[in-house]
Amino acid sequence: MAVSERISAPRRRGVTAMDVATAAGVSQSAVSRSFTPGASVAPVTRARVLEVAQELGYRPNLIARSLITRRSGMIGVAIGNLRNQIYPVMLEKLAEGLSAQGYRILLFTAPLDGDADPELAQIMRYQPDAVVLAATSMSSALALECRAASVPVVLFNRMARGAAGSEISSVTGANHDGGRAIGRLIGAAGHQRPAFIAGHALASTSIDREAGYRAGLQEAGLPPPLVTHGNFHERDTREAAAALLQRQDQPDAVFAASDQMAIVAMDVARHRFGLRVPEDVSIIGFDDAPAASWPSYDLTSYAQPAAAMVAATIELLLERIGEPHVAPRQIVVPGRLVLRGSARLPPGIVRDADNQ
Amino acid sequence: MAVSERISAPRRRGVTAMDVATAAGVSQSAVSRSFTPGASVAPVTRARVLEVAQELGYRPNLIARSLITRRSGMIGVAIGNLRNQIYPVMLEKLAEGLSAQGYRILLFTAPLDGDADPELAQIMRYQPDAVVLAATSMSSALALECRAASVPVVLFNRMARGAAGSEISSVTGANHDGGRAIGRLIGAAGHQRPAFIAGHALASTSIDREAGYRAGLQEAGLPPPLVTHGNFHERDTREAAAALLQRQDQPDAVFAASDQMAIVAMDVARHRFGLRVPEDVSIIGFDDAPAASWPSYDLTSYAQPAAAMVAATIELLLERIGEPHVAPRQIVVPGRLVLRGSARLPPGIVRDADNQ
């Protein structure tokens, strides 16, 4: 194999960019640009340079380079909730997409829907080219400071709270539309007593999904939902689900603000209350996380397309690196209702098929 | 709040380490050491320095510092399989544990149990202080090159293949012991036709679990297992489970080399073959991943203690950073069988209780 041949050959510490340029038949500047994220260089040239560099064992010192180029090639990513299956999926796609653009992820964990400011202050010390915050948020003050320091920030699956909302770029699913579609589905299928298991009280996703849900229920002529709080947290969700299901006027349809919570609610309904899903109670989630299609749950959910959301995030990042004062954009990626077996269906409507 | 006061105060670009030293009443060297991962400084001094630094808005340029200290403060982490729930759990704990030591994770995705060499060559360009490879492996040649470059490498949940086995540090669960305990459990519970769903053919975890399983079955007087290959992959596992369950001599006990695969197998057994678990077939996994305790699966599994495995990984890393030529160590973290409802139990043995 070429790789092991290269490695077992004598170690060449002294290989320079000029050696690579000569061997590849390109300019030294082309070698430099080939190793600089986002720099302009023909793909065929970059491929040739990388191939020759690998053959010769050339490795630019990116750290030293970053002091000159002011590009570290790193994107700081803070994630508030890796337990929700959608975030590992997103992280994997984001790492792959950024890698294709020459960027690497510097990973931080942040409080779930808390204030990521302290972590973010740490991230900034590594001179990232941009920052992504997933399932967490930041203060307006720090957002402005990042802007002053020319470090673009993109929120993933959250919108900034309050006045900062239009000042910070974000990528979200169609939270209001999705909630509304679920409210209308519940009405059309003849349910009478809707409920909602909310996420963290400060999470824009949960707030927007609930608002859409209320609108959809109202359009269907149903009363507002009973609401309990699962806080995107397993134990809290077990208690929230039990609080709903032990009522005299037990709900006949429960929408949880994430699949993670819907799955917990379904297990509580079946295994603690002995209820049949969906005959006794319909359960619906949001995300279309991997577990939603597992046959034991077969969860009706509003799909957030991870690939499209990650692509939009990378688009926002690349647009802003080098041009940090481009106006903020809030991208809403449309999703779709995935009808499975956990919720009763309106007359004449058939479920979606999974490729099992 | 202190944070927003600090941020809304005039931006102080010119704060130096000397300013922090004066305000904190310590030497400038103490300030420097407080910001250097692994440097010797009293915890109370470091706490005081960090507090004053935050008040003053002091931020050392870690990138510039790394050229002097030869420490980047970054640990390269390559992960081959974020879809298996144990890896996001591990990644979260690793990020938290490393953060407490002043290190950050530079994240890479690598081929699942393939050759992480190309990704690892990328990691090395960022001058990481050490590298962790999870669910993936590397060539012996590259391992030796890392050693020559004084970059410690630790494999997580894998051991190096072949001759390199004793040359690369690793942290694994008790794969052989766990497999053996499962083989003996299956025998003691009176099963007759054991089967095994293997992971990726090159994964040391799957190989060691299978070897232990065969030993345990033999001790129990049972024949060797039927074996199919799920490759730690969902679709492959559906086919592997179906291939076992459609046989005339249908297995009455299936051990899958990961919970991720056991859950897929359970869904195939119940929903495609209409079998009762465990009455018609016992299903057992390995890992005690979060989903194993979800009531719909209630999966008997061999627990790999994530916290202890991450602690051992951090111990190996810290031991080698600065002392990269310390002899390699292979740490095996003991686990335990968690008895739930997916497998028949031997007479007189009771299941474990989950805190649901």
The 3-state secondary structure of chain B reads CHHHHHHHCCCCCCCCHHHHHHHHCCCHHHHHHHCCCCCCCCHHHHHHHHHHHHHHCCCCCHHHHHHHHCCCCEEEEEECCCCCCHHHHHHHHHHHHHHHCCCEEEEEECCCCCECHHHHHHHHCCCCCEEEEECCECCHHHHHHHHHCCCCEEEECCCCCHHHHHCCEEEEECHHHHHHHHHHHHHHCCCCCEEEEECCCCCHHHHHHHHHHHHHHHHCCCCCCEEEECCCCHHHHHHHHHHHHCCCCCCCEEEECCHHHHHHHHHHHHHHCCCCCCCCCEEEEEECCHHHHCCCCCCEEEECCHHHHHHHHHHHHHHHCCCCCCCCCEEEECCEEECCCCCCCCCCCCCCCCCC
Tell me, what's the pLDDT at B3? 34
ipTM of the complex: 0.81
Count of structural domains, chain A: 3
The answer to whether residue A238 neighbours chain B at the CB level (below 8 Å) is yes
Tell me, what's the pLDDT at B124? 81
Position A292, amino acid: A
Same domain for B146 and B84:
yes
Burial of B45 (0-12, 13-18, 19+ CB in 10 A): middle
pTM: 0.82
- Residues composing chain B: 356
- When pLDDT is cut at 50, 70 and 90, the band that residue B271 belongs to is very high
- When pLDDT is cut at 50, 70 and 90, the band that residue A150 belongs to is confident
The answer to whether residue B127 neighbours chain A at the CB level (below 8 Å) is yes
The answer to whether residue B91 neighbours chain A at the CB level (below 8 Å) is yes
B contacts of A7 (beta carbons < 8 Å): 139, 141-142, 144-145
Higher local confidence (pLDDT), A160 or B328: B328
The residue-averaged pLDDT of B153-179 equals 86
Domain end (from B258, B287, B304):
B304
The residue-averaged pLDDT of B214-237 equals 97
User: Nearest by CB to B95, which of A4, A109, A296?
Assistant: A109
A contacts of B32 (beta carbons < 8 Å): none
Phi/psi of residue A290, nearest 5 degrees? -50, -45
- When pLDDT is cut at 50, 70 and 90, the band that residue B165 belongs to is low
Same domain for A129 and A21:
no
Tell me, what's the pLDDT at B6? 37
Tell me, what's the pLDDT at B59? 66
Tell me, what's the pLDDT at B60? 67
Token code pair at residue B191: 């099963």
Which of A1-10, A323-332, B34-43, B71-80 is the least confident region? A1-10
Same domain for A291 and A236:
yes
Start-to-end C-alpha separation, chain A? 38
Same domain for B179 and B159:
no
Residue B38, pLDDT above cutoff 60 = yes
Question: For residue B91, what are the contacts with CB-CB under 8 A and spacing of at least 6?
Answer: A82, A107, B77, B79, B82, B105, B134
Higher local confidence (pLDDT), A285 or B142: A285
Which of B1-5, B25-29, B262-266 is the least confident region? B1-5
Token code pair at residue B312: 């051992």
Q: Which of A226-235, B124-133, B322-331 has the highest mean pLDDT?
A: A226-235
Higher local confidence (pLDDT), B160 or B342: B342
Interface contacts (A, B; CB < 8 Å): 159
Same domain for A276 and A203:
yes
Tell me, what's the pLDDT at A8? 36
Q: Which of A174-178, B158-162, B328-332 has the highest mean pLDDT?
A: A174-178
Whether A348 is in a domain gets the answer no
- When pLDDT is cut at 50, 70 and 90, the band that residue B251 belongs to is very high
The answer to whether residue A109 neighbours chain B at the CB level (below 8 Å) is yes
Which of A17-21, A61-65, A196-200, B44-48 is the least confident region? A61-65
| Interface mutation target, options B1, B59, B109, B145, chain A, most CBs of A under 10 Å | B109
CB B117 within 8 A of CB B123: no
DSSP 8-state secondary structure symbol assigned to residue A110 = -
Least CA distance to A145: which residue of chain B?
B7
Residue B45, pLDDT above cutoff 90 = no
Whether B65 is in a domain gets the answer no
Least CA distance to B118: which residue of chain A?
A3
Cis peptide before B278 (omega within 30 of 0): yes
Same domain for B155 and B10:
no
Whether B226 is in a domain gets the answer yes
Q: In which element (H, E) is residue A170 found?
A: strand A169-173
Whether A356 is in a domain gets the answer no
Average pLDDT over all residues of chain A: 87
Same domain for A283 and A256:
yes
Distance from C-alpha of B250 to C-alpha of B52, rounded to nearest angstrom: 68
Cα-Cα-Cα-Cα torsion A77, A78, A84, A85, nearest 10 degrees, comes to: 10
Same domain for A195 and A297:
yes
Rounded to a whole number, what is the distance in Å from the CA of A343 to chain B's nearest CA?
17
Cβ pair A87:B89 closer than 8 A = no
Least CA distance to A93: which residue of chain B?
B109
CB A343 within 8 A of CB A265: no
The residue-averaged pLDDT of A73-87 equals 91
Q: What share of chain A is helix, strand, coil (3-state, %, to 5)?
A: 45, 15, 40
CATH of the domain at B237: 3.40.50.2300
A contacts of B82 (beta carbons < 8 Å): 88-89, 91-92
Rounded to a whole number, what is the distance in Å from the CA of A337 to chain B's nearest CA?
23
Residue A326, pLDDT above cutoff 80 = yes
Same domain for B181 and B152:
no
> If DSSP codes are grouped into helix, strand and coil, which group holds residue A171?
strand
> If DSSP codes are grouped into helix, strand and coil, which group holds residue A229?
strand
Higher local confidence (pLDDT), A322 or B215: B215
A contacts of B4 (beta carbons < 8 Å): 139, 141
Domain end (from A263, A287, A304):
A304
A contacts of B89 (beta carbons < 8 Å): 82-83
Same domain for B316 and B266:
no
Same domain for A313 and A299:
no
A contacts of B236 (beta carbons < 8 Å): none
Q: Helix B259-267 crosses helix B234-245 at what angle (to 10 degrees)?
A: 50
The 3-state secondary structure of B21-41 reads HHHHCCCHHHHHHHCCCCCCC
Which of A60-69, A112-121, B330-339 is the least confident region? A60-69
Distance from C-alpha of B92 to C-alpha of B97, rounded to nearest angstrom: 9
Higher local confidence (pLDDT), B116 or B82: B82
The answer to whether residue B2 neighbours chain A at the CB level (below 8 Å) is no
| Interface mutation target, options A5, A75, A104, A260, chain B, most CBs of B under 10 Å | A104
Average pLDDT over all residues of chain B: 87
Residue A185, pLDDT above cutoff 70 = yes
- When pLDDT is cut at 50, 70 and 90, the band that residue A9 belongs to is very low
Residue range of the domain that includes A48 = 2-60
Residue B351, pLDDT above cutoff 80 = yes
Residue B7, pLDDT above cutoff 60 = no
CB A280 within 8 A of CB A219: no
